[in-house]
Amino acid sequence: MDSSHGGTPDLQDQHRARASIHDVPVELLSPIIYLSIQGYSTHLKRVQTLCFVCSKWRDVVEDTPELWCRLTSADPLEGVRKAIHYSRDHPLDIDYHCISRTRSNPPDFLQAVAPHVWRCRQASIIVDRSTQRMLQALTVGEAPRLESLAIVADGLMNPWFYTREPLTLFQGATLPSLRSLRIRDIPLVWNGEQLFNLQRLEIVAPERTLVPLIGLLSVLRVTQRLEEFTCLASFSQALEGDRITAPLPALKKLSIHSFGTSSWLDLFSMIRAPACRYLSLGGDFSRHLENPNNLAQIAEGISQIFPRVWKATDREERVRIAVGCWEVRLSSSTLQLVFSGYPQTIQLAKWTILNLVDELEEINLSINDYTWNASQLEMLDLPTLGRKVSKLDINADVRERRAILEYLSSPDRGSDSQTRWPLPDLTEVALAVTADDLPGILRMLRGRAQAIDLPGSLRPQGIIGLHLSEDARHSLDITDILAEIDSLLRGNGGSLTIMRWGAHRE
């Protein structure tokens, strides 16, 4: 028998049978353990439990600093101190939430963690009135490794956060590695030199607190790498004659919403973001949209945010406009604009279409507002605006679907004695319907198909695509009418598609 290859096959099989994870080399076991505990809120507790598996595992765990770098509010104080020791000088992640209900006593946790904040990489802190001293202590000194910081006030009605002096992060020391900053209901002293490397900034402030506009601009003017900026707040008024702009060459996403004031317009008009592809504006639009000067200022600001607006895009570009209860969304394949917080969406949608959509571009109009009816669609009056709506999508939430179908079936004789059809350029319609809606759909298709026989009529295009999403598709009562709709569409070179309720349609 040749034993030069390590024994017989039987002995080799027995050896494989005895092999276990304990035989894995240390250099492999350490990353396996590290990956296995990621994502658990009780991270540190699991690390300590692994020390009891065997002496080898204990040695591996205690000799792997990366396993001890996450400190949470659920950890007992003894475990926090042990983790700080075994993490050596590796970067720390602090996740301190729901302080008043956690195991650790806030002063004890503070005493254990504060001396090591200088090596903190990520910090997410929720503070309440009883732990305000911890917030001050954790933002003293320097934090050269800090990459992400979130500070949130626990309890929106807590008066401490309205009367407290603004917080100076780390006594104004430069934070060279800070990329993400999220502040909620915490007044700050804004210092551009301190936050110059930000890539993501989110500010949420209560209604009674004004964010100092000049201080915020001091940050925006130096954050050349900022890619996302979200601000839900009211701002102090700009100084008279102060029109200093904030160039943001890397900004891709901008959201500005304010609480019942017009102050967002001051901030919006000062931002220049040539690479921005998503813009969301919300707040008090009523006065802005009634004042022609403000309308012009909004349009000018949007053109500055989006220097290559739709008018400069390829003529094959298609624009989608979605009208919901509280917002109007305008988007293309490259850009997206959202107006929200304004209930009178007809005027807002009309203004958006008139100012931001070229006459030659085709519009996909999606109605999601349950209050919309035929009168509101008529008030939009898109043909008069000179805009072509080629696709119409009426959501299942819209209550007056049948009235809208009747409106689309009824031409109107204008002041020039010409018969005009509503949305004459329609080539595709999508409806979420019941069986009772089908007769109205059939009447609409027949009326628009026969428009060529009306003298003096500006004939609508034949609808070439009809998408129906209905909940009665298995009913025998609708078989005949669906067949008639299908035949009518096919006779005009079109098609009928039936999808399950809520199915996605491109």
Q: In what order do the strands lie in the sheet with 419-420?
A: 412-413, 419-420, 457-458
The region of weakest confidence among 85-99, 102-116, 337-351, 410-424 is 102-116
Return the DSSP state at 51: T
Give the mean pLDDT of 352-374. 85
Give the total number of structural domains in the chain. Answer: 1
Alpha helices (runs of H) in 310-400, residue ranges in sequence order: 345-356, 374-380, 382-385
Of 120-134, 177-191, 316-330, 413-427, the range with the highest mean pLDDT is 177-191
> Does any domain span residue 350?
no
How do residues 278-315 score in pLDDT, each as one tens digit?
A: 999 887 666 666 666 777 777 777 877 776 544 444 54
User: Residue 37 sits in which domain range?
Assistant: 27-68
- Number of neighbours of residue 98 by Cβ within 10 angstroms: 11
How do residues 172-205 score in pLDDT, each as one tens digit?
A: 889 999 999 999 988 888 988 899 999 999 999 8
> Does any domain span residue 53?
yes
> Does any domain span residue 47?
yes
Name, in order, each residue with C-beta under 8 angstroms of 109's C-beta and a sequence gap of 6 or more: 73, 77, 80, 96, 134
> Does any domain span residue 43?
yes
Give the whole-angstrom CA distance, residue 31 versus residue 37: 10
How do residues 71-104 score in pLDDT, each as one tens digit?
A: 887 788 888 888 888 888 899 988 887 544 444 5
CB 273 within 8 Å of CB 251: yes
How do residues 391-409 score in pLDDT, each as one tens digit?
A: 899 888 888 888 888 888 8
HSE (side-chain half, CA atoms, 13 Å) at 304: 15
- The alpha carbon dihedral of 415, 416, 420, 423 has a sign of negative
> Does any domain span residue 40?
yes
> Does any domain span residue 37?
yes
How do residues 215-249 score in pLDDT, each as one tens digit?
A: 898 899 999 999 999 999 888 876 555 567 888 99
Is the pLDDT assigned to residue 330 strictly greater than 60?
yes
pTM (2 decimals)? 0.79
> Does any domain span residue 468?
no
- Closest by CA to 84, choosing from 40, 38, 49, 115, is 115
> Does any domain span residue 176?
no
Rounded to a whole number of angstroms, the CA Rg of the chain reads: 31
Residue 352, φ and ψ in degrees, nearest 5: -60, -45
CB 321 within 8 Å of CB 353: yes
Average of per-residue pLDDT values in the chain:
77
